Structure 1
Amino acid sequence: MSTYVYAITSADHPLRLNGVKGVGDPAGELRALGTQALSAVVSDAPVGLRAKRRDLAAHQGVLERLLADGAVLPMRFGLVAPDDEQVLTALDNQRDAFVERLRELDGCVEFNLKASRDEDALLREIVAESEEVRRLNEFTRQNPDAHEQKVALGELLSAEIDSRNLVEAQRIVAQLESLAVRHRAAEQQDANFLNVSFLVKRDNAEPFSQAVWEEAERRGAEYSLSLNGPLPPYSFV
């Protein structure tokens, strides 16, 4: 039977798992695999596991219960080992790295912040501030068949958008990074120009959330800042 892995903790973590169920239907029974230094919270891996809402919620529920009692290295949904022995071997082989990372994450949670900007407002700003954009824009309006100039205008707009978004992303991170232990940028998604995770001390979670809200207020309706957390520190494992 394959082994589904939820998290790694220190050996002295309380592991209060009564009443918490794992993934699968019927829900998997949670158990701990332990070495002298570490524990892994696991269950039997269900056959044909998919990222269904029920199972995603079960995985998250296990992590939240563990996180309430101490540092946790949360595993991504769907991590399956061949068997219990392989999990124990990994705990032994990577003991020092796991122990060090647990020490770093102790007392911390993750917040993910995404930011986007109204595209029309951004384009208006670029047109107002870039003489070359205005010139090309006017020329292509008057000359609909000017393909070369249209390409040049598109490339210039794309470069301006990327440059301005990068500046704003850096400014937002600079406003918040003093309230975090670390931050890690992730791949931009959809219309977001910023997708970044912050590792925040649990005692600093409320001030951090407040700082994000104040930044959103300062920027106004043109910007949308979406904060998700506190979360298990997935991005810092």
Structure 2
Amino acid sequence: MPRYVYAITAATHPCRLDGLAGVGAEPAPVSTITMGPLRAVVSDIEEEIRPKRRDLAAHQAVQERLMADGPVLPLQFGYTAPDDQAVADVLQERADDYLAALARLRGRAEYHVRASQDQDALLREILRDSDRARALNDRIRSGDPDPRLPLELGEIVAGEVRERQEALAAGLIRTLASYAEDHSARTPADGDVLNLSLLVRDDHKHDFLQAEDRLAEQAEDLEFRFSGPLPPYSFV
């Protein structure tokens, strides 16, 4: 029977899975497949899995339960294998890589930081700092009909926004990454200026969270969204 695969752990991981139901329209119990020093956490699946809210929550619940008891290599939502033997074969073939990754992640968790900027405040800042942008804006507001003015102003503003937000993001990454063992910056979306994942040691968690708080207090025109500790998806 096809198996949905949630994560990989060491065979010594307790894998306390009692009470957890798997993904799918008819959720099966979550169980394990052990091969040598490794264990895969799985459940039976009979249909193609789509990212519905209930299934995403079930997938995440397994990761969080496992993470509470030791390092885990979480698989992204939707990974399936044709049968137990296929799972066991992968565990055997990639044992060295998986064991090394588990060792690297021991005592560590992922934290995620997104930040967005007040666009009105940024525009006011650009108009204050750029003589050319301010002059163009004044001419437009005074009723100058020249059709080239909005285009030129738009180009100036877009360039300034891009340059300032890239510099801002670089500074935020430098600050936060200094508290982490590893980090992964992705292209921001939905108006954000920062989309950052960090791998933080458990014994550095307090310092890291204090740094987050200081950033949120100091950056008045930024809105931060912090989450974690999370399964280390970005570092598997």
CA distance in 1, matches of 2:104, 2:144: 59
The alpha-carbon deviation at position 144 of structure 1 amounts to 4.8
- Counterpart AA for 1:90: V
Provide the residue aligned with 1:228 in structure 2: 227
Amino acid at match of 1:182: D
Q: Secondary structure at the match of 2:178?
A: helix
Paired position in structure 2 for 1:205:
205
CA distance in 1, matches of 2:46, 2:161: 46
> Does the 8 A contact of 1:176 with 1:211 survive in 2?
yes
1:147 Cα deviation (Å)?
Answer: 2.9
Amino acid at match of 2:232: P
Question: Please, what TM-score do these two structures have when normalized by structure 1?
Answer: 0.93
Q: CA deviation at 1:224?
A: 0.2
Q: What per-residue deviation string (whole Å, max 9, x for no partner) do you get for residues 12-67 of structure 1?
A: 21212222222124322122112212111011124243322222221111111111
Aligned counterpart, 1:106: 106
Structure 2 distance, partners of 1:234, 1:219, is: 28
> Conserved in 2, the CA contact under 8 Å of 1:111 and 1:197?
yes
Moved over 3 A (4+): 139-145
User: One-letter code of the match for 2:51?
Assistant: A
The answer on whether the counterparts of 1:23 and 1:46 sit within 8 Å (CA) in structure 2 is no
Q: Which residue of 1 aligns with 2:152?
A: 152
Q: What is the 5 A alignment of 1:1-237?
A: 1-142=1-142, 144-220=144-220, 222-237=221-236
Moved more, 159-168 or 9-18: 9-18
Whole-Å Cα distance in 2 between the matches of residues 14 and 204 of structure 1?
25
Q: 2: distance between equivalents of 1:71 and 1:110?
A: 12
1:58-117 Cα offsets, whole Å, 9 max, x none, are: 111111111111110001111112222222222222222212111111111111100011
CA positional deviation for 1:119: 0.4
> Cα distance, 1:146 vs. partner?
2.6
Which deviates the most, 200-209 or 5-14? 200-209
1:6·1:40 contact (CA, 8 Å) conserved in 2? yes
Percent identical residues? 43
Report the RMSD for the aligned CA atoms in angstroms: 1.7
SS in 1 for 2:17: coil
Mean Cα deviation higher: 145-154 or 27-36: 145-154
**Number of aligned residues:** 236
CA distance in 2, matches of 1:225, 1:187: 16
Match of 1:180, SS state, is coil
Cα pair distance change 1:144/1:82, threshold 3 Å: farther
- Give distance in 1, aligned partners of 2:111 and 2:222: 19
SS in 1 for 2:90: helix
Q: How many Å apart are 1:135 and its aligned residue?
A: 2.4
Q: TM-score, normalised by structure 2?
A: 0.93
Shift of 1:176: 1.7
> 8 Å contact 1:109–1:202 — kept in the other structure?
yes
- Higher mean alpha-carbon deviation, 154-163 vs 85-94, is at 85-94
Q: Which amino acid aligns with 2:162?
A: D
Cα contact 1:205–1:230 (8 A) shared by 2:
no
Judge conservation of contact 1:113–1:197 (CA < 8 Å) in 2: yes
